[in-house]
Amino acid sequence: MHGTSLPWLDPIIAHRGASGVAPENTLAAIRRAVELGAHWVEVDVRQTASGHLILMHDATLARTTNGRGKIAATPYEKIADLDAGGWFAPDFAGEPVPTLEAFVRLASKLDLCANIEIKTDPGDTDPGDTDPGEAEAVGRAVATLLRNQWPPNRPPPLLSSSSPEVLHGAAKMAANLPRGLVVRRVPSAAKLCEQARECVSIHVDHRFLTQAKTAHLIKNGYAILAYTVNRPARAKTLYAWGVAAIFIDYPEPERWR
Ligand code: G3P
Ligand code: MG
């Protein structure tokens, strides 16, 4: 697969929705992104103890909800009652944690394209790594849901993860959904070949991107998506290097193009 496999990619992707002005990974943040003019949104997905798939960045509930505990150890029935908006601003109090299904319905209604980032890391405070089998199972679960529920008349969502096992699991269930590898730094050629062989894109922390590294990745056929860019001058530099899209917390197109 190659970067050119994403002709519907927009240079601006609302990061976790319009997370600069609304609580990240909520439906309010998705709606706000569209109001600001975004055509693409990125959301983070995790699996709960009951197997449900929800929009959530962290491995734990504490930062973005009024709950406590690990997502992977909490059943969805408990998460469904939590407030995912009040921490951000009183106006958003009562905003629920969305399921992936609810996100798919809203994205379809709003004609949105999506990058769905699948998270399985246990969080910064947990010394253990996620079991590869579990990671693959989460990739399979997300891809299965999207295969069944993403509207066939819409451009398919771009699945991404920092876990090659997740991507492998997703590929098994929905080989036609494009996939991207999320990295902090640009990996060595050998690692890239091993972990991103079937990916169309590499999603890199922009602070570790250089013009030469960008050119190298493009030459190898990948679309480069850079996160998280909140300075227009930096965005212009990245586009000039050939970066295809940037993840932005404040996705007003006129600020960035
Ligand atoms: O997918 C790009 C970006 O969202 C990765 O970083 O931590 O914001 O999920 P993070
Ligand atoms: Mg993300």
List the domains of the chain with CATH numbers. Answer: 12-60+100-256 (3.20.20.190)
Q: What is the pLDDT of residue 4?
A: 58
Ligand 2 centroid–CA 244 distance in Å is: 17
Kindly report, residue by residue over 126-144, the tens digit of the pLDDT: 556 778 899 999 999 999 9
Catalytic residue among 2, 15, 168, 203: 15
15 is annotated as an active-site residue? yes
Q: Grade residue 37 by pLDDT with cuts at 50, 70 and 90.
A: very high
- Residue 15 confidence (pLDDT): 98
Decide: 117 in ligand 1 pocket, CB within 6 A. Answer: yes
Percent of the chain with pLDDT over 70: 96
Mutate-to-test residue for ligand 1 from 9, 46, 160, 203, highest number of ligand atoms within 8 A of CB: 203
Please give the distance, rounded to the nearest whole angstrom, from the Cα atom of residue 227 to the centre of ligand 1. Answer: 7
**How confident is residue 3, by pLDDT bands cut at 50, 70 and 90?**
very low
44 lines ligand 1 (CB under 6 A): yes
Examine the residue annotation and report whether 57 is marked as an active-site residue of this protein. yes
CA dihedral 198, 204, 208, 211 (to 10 degrees): 70
Residue appearing with tokens 């299904």: 101
Closest Cα to residue 132, out of 183, 166, 161, 175? 166
Give the tens place of pLDDT for each residue, 171-193.
999 999 999 999 999 999 899 98
Of 67, 186, 42, 172, the residue nearest 117 (C-alpha): 42
As a whole number, mean pLDDT of residues 202-219 equals 97
pTM beyond 0.85: yes
Q: How far is the CA of 50 from the centre of ligand 1 (A)?
A: 24
Q: Is 182 in the pocket of ligand 1 (CB under 6 A)?
A: yes
Q: Write down the pLDDT at residue 156.
A: 97
Position 254 scores a pLDDT of 83
The helix (run of H) or strand (run of E) holding residue 183 is strand 179-183
Ligand 1 atom with the smallest distance to the CA of 57 is 9
Residue 70: CA count within 13 A, CB half-sphere: 13
Task: Give the per-residue pLDDT at 180.
Answer: 98
Residue tagged 């991507």 (tokens): 167
The residue whose C-alpha atom lies closest to atom 6 belonging to ligand 1 is: 227
Residue-level pLDDT at 117 = 98
Question: Is the pLDDT reported for residue 150 higher than 60?
Answer: yes
pLDDT interval class at 125 (50, 70, 90): low
- pLDDT, position 132: 86
Residue range 77-97, pLDDT digits in tens: 999 999 999 999 999 999 999
